[in-house]
Structure 1
């Protein structure tokens, strides 16, 4: 799930997943962090989910995927779009 907060010249995009699906650590990797695993690791929230927030320039679009333990890559089903292997998010 994606949550957005629009600010003057940027958008805070929060990437949200259930705490245990998939199990183990998960990070969001994309063109906004040079596809670096671990740069944006999801952490537990009080609502039973885990999340990480990334600040992106307003009116931009980015490719991303999730990376879980065991080199398990997966997409965001509720993304703004998909292009081949990647999910897309509009800020």
Structure 2
């Protein structure tokens, strides 16, 4: 798994690209407090020929977000997250993205 960040000079946003290796998966989405934890068309990652799922979101910079991936219905943390934060509602840790 990987996250890349591209800060735009023209606008106060960061293009965040999420890459998830999941050859056997049918669906992968990224959900978090930036999209009310909703898996939808905007949060779905596209499957590439190499078996990875990839997608880019534009998020306001100078913010911190909690997120997880949903891989075929299972919630999975990002191994290369900027950090982790305990969430009582989830009963576990969420990955943290700092922009």
Does the TM-score normalized on the shorter chain lie above 0.5?
yes
Q: Does 1:57 align with 2:60?
A: yes
Structure 1's unaligned 5+ residue stretches are none
Structure possessing the higher radius of gyration over alpha carbons: 2
CA gap of 1:59–1:46, structure 2 versus 1, over 3 A, is farther
Count residues in correspondence.
Answer: 89
- 1: distance between equivalents of 2:68 and 2:74? 10
CA deviation vs aligned residue, 1:35-77 (integer Å, no higher than 9, x gap): 10124111034665221111111111100001121x2111000
Q: Does 1:4 align with 2:41?
A: no
Give the root-mean-square deviation of aligned CA atoms: 1.6
Structure 2's unaligned 5+ residue stretches are 87-92
Give runs of aligned pairs for residues 1-91 of structure 1, distance below 5 A.
1-8=2-9, 9-20=12-23, 23-38=25-40, 39-45=42-48, 48-69=51-72, 71-84=73-86, 85-91=93-99
TM-score (norm 1): 0.87
